[in-house]
Structure 1
Amino acid sequence: MDPLIRLKNARTEGQIPNTIYDSIVRRFPIAVAGINRIEKASGIRYPVAYVEPSLVVSAPDPNSYEYGILFARTIPVVFEERFQVVIQVSAPLVAYGLRGTIHAILAHEFLHYLELMSRISRMDLLSDEVSGSIFENVYSDETRLFEPRVVFRDRTLLEHITKKFPSGFRDHKLEDKAIRLWSEKNLPKTNISLDSNTIKLSAESLSKIKLAPEFVSKLDELEKKSAKIKRKKIY
C-alpha cells in the first residue's frame, strides 16, 4: 500500500494545494524514520500506516463545544473477512509537527496497536467501553497502554513520549498551526465520534485471526513486565 495514495488523490481532486502537498511529501521521510526507529527500538514490525489528507477532529457530543484534534489513530478494520490494524497519520501532523513530536505520536499509536493485538490474542475484543469526554478518553488511554520503557530500547524516544504524553497528548504550538494553517484555510476536515474506533467481533471471527506464536509470546512478555512496573507505581 502506498502510504501517500490518499494524499495524492486529494491533490488530484483539488482538495489539497500543491504547496501543502509538496511540504507533506518533503517531510514524510521524518515519519518513515520514526517508524524505522520504533521497529528497531521494539524489535516488532510496525503495522500498515498511511497519511490521511484531513484534520481529524473528535467531539463527544454534536452539541458540545469540546473537541480534540487527533493527529493519529489506530484503526482496527475488517475487510473481506480479514482483520487488520492500520495507523492513520493526519496530514497536518506531517506538515507541521516537529521530528520529536511525530516520532512520539507514532510510538504512542504503536502502543495502542500492541494492546489491541494483545487483547485479540486473549479473545478479549467482544466489546469495549466508550468514554464520555475527551478527558475521560485520555485517562482511560493512559491507564491501559503498555509501559513505553518496557517496549522501547531508545532513551531519546522515551523522553519524547514522556514529554508529549504526561496525561494525554498536548502540543499547543502544533494545535495552533493545525487550526491556523489548515482548519481556517478550509482544508479538508473529518469529524468523528469518540466511539468510531470501537470494533466488536464475534468469537467465531476472533478465532479466525491467526497471530504468529512468537509475536503472541512477545506480547505476553511485554504485558507481564508492564504489569510489574504499574504495581510498583501503585505501591
Structure 2
Amino acid sequence: MDHLVKVKESYEKGLLPQDIYDLITERFSLVSSGIDRIEKASGTKYPVSYVEPSAILTSSADVTFGYGILFARTLPVFFEEKFQIMIQISAPLVAFGLKGTIHAILAHEFLHYLELVRKASRMEILSDEVSANLFENVYADSTRLFEARAVFDDQTLLTHITKKFPTGFKDYKLEDKTEKLWISKNLPVTNIALDANTVKLSAESLAKVNWDPALLSKIKEYEERESKLRKRKIY
C-alpha cells in the first residue's frame, strides 16, 4: 500500500499546509530506511504501515501523567474478513523526528507486532489489557515485549532503542517540536483515551486466521535466543 495515502488525502482536503506536506514527503525516506534496516536486522518482513496525518494525543485522569503524545501504534484490524496487524506512524514523528528516534520507534512497534502475533497465534490473548493511567501504561508496555537483543542483529539500532526506551519512550525535543510546530498551529489532532484504546479479538476470529509459517518459525527462533539471554543473566 502507499504509506502516504492518508497524508495526501489530508493535504488535498486542505487540512495540511504545503510546507508540512512537503516536509513529511521529503523525510519519509527516513521511515523507509528504518523499515529496511529492521527487516535486515531481524530477518523478518515489517508489517503493513502507514502515516497518520495527525498528532495522536492520549488523556488520563492522573495529574502527573495527564497528557501524552503517541508517535506510533500497533493496530490489529479485520479487513475484508482478514486479520491484519498494521503500524500507524504519526505525521509529527516523520516531520520532526531524528533518524535514530524514528528507527527506534519503528523497531519498538515491530516488537509489539511480534508479541501480538505470538500471543494471538497461540490463542493466549483475547484482549490486550490497557491501563487508563499513563505511568502504569508505560510500565506495562515495557514488560510484555521480546528482548530487543533476541530479535535485532544491529548494535547501533539496539543502542537507539536502549536510549529512547529505558522505561518508556521519552524525547523532549521531539515532543516540544510537536507542541510548537503542530498542535499549537491547529494542525490535525486525534484524541485517544487510554482506557478506550483496547484490542478486542474474539476466539472465533482468531481461530480463522491463517498465520504465516515462516513468521511463526522466526518467532520461535527469537524465543530461543531470548531464553539463552535470560540464562546468561542468571549465571
TM-score category (smaller protein): over 0.9
Runs (4+) of structure 1 exceeding 4 A deviation are 62-65, 230-235
Q: CA deviation at 1:217?
A: 1.8
Q: Residue 74 of structure 2 aligns with which residue?
A: 74
Q: Residue 55 of structure 2 aligns with which residue?
A: 55
Q: 1:193 to 1:21 in 2, by over 3 A?
A: same
Q: Residue 10 of structure 1 aligns with which residue?
A: 10
Structure 1 window deviating more from structure 2 (223-232 vs 122-131): it is 223-232
Q: Distance in 1 between matches of 2:180 and 2:234?
A: 41
Q: Residue 180 of structure 1 aligns with which residue?
A: 180
How is 1:22-171 mapped onto 2 (pairs within 5 angstroms)?
22-61=22-61, 66-171=66-171
Q: Distance in 2 between matches of 1:21 and 1:168?
A: 29
Q: Distance in 1 between matches of 2:164 and 2:62?
A: 28
Q: 1:147 to 1:62 in 2, by over 3 A?
A: closer
SS at match of 1:191: strand
Q: Distance in 2 between matches of 1:231 and 1:134?
A: 32
**Contact 1:123-1:206 within 8 A present in 2 as well:** yes
Q: Which amino acid aligns with 2:122?
A: R
Q: CA deviation at 1:197?
A: 4.2
Q: Which amino acid aligns with 1:60?
A: S
Structure 2 gaps of 5+ residues are none
SS at match of 2:116: helix
**Contact 1:114-1:219 within 8 A present in 2 as well:** yes
**Contact 1:75-1:197 within 8 A present in 2 as well:** no
Report the number of matched residues.
Answer: 235
Structure 1 window deviating more from structure 2 (59-68 vs 219-228): it is 59-68
Q: Distance in 1 between matches of 2:26 and 2:34?
A: 15
Q: Which amino acid aligns with 1:40?
A: K
Q: CA deviation at 1:227?
A: 4.2
Q: Which amino acid aligns with 2:176?
A: D
**Contact 2:11-2:21 within 8 A present in 1 as well:** yes
Deviations 1:182-211 (CA, angstroms, capped at 9, x unpaired): 000000000012144422222221111111
Q: Distance in 1 between matches of 2:201 and 2:91?
A: 30
Structure 1 gaps of 5+ residues are none
Structure 1 window deviating more from structure 2 (180-189 vs 208-217): it is 208-217
SS at match of 1:169: coil
Q: Distance in 1 between matches of 2:134 and 2:21?
A: 30
Q: Which amino acid aligns with 1:151?
A: V
Return the TM-score normalized by structure 2.
Answer: 0.94
Return the TM-score normalized by structure 1.
Answer: 0.94
Q: CA deviation at 1:234?
A: 6.8
Q: Distance in 1 between matches of 2:222 and 2:52?
A: 30
Deviations 1:37-92 (CA, angstroms, capped at 9, x unpaired): 00000000000111100000111349997011000110111122211111111110
Deviations 1:138-179 (CA, angstroms, capped at 9, x unpaired): 111111110111100001000000010001000000000000
RMSD: 1.8
- Sequence identity (%): 61
Structure 1 window deviating more from structure 2 (203-212 vs 120-129): it is 120-129
**Contact 1:52-1:91 within 8 A present in 2 as well:** yes
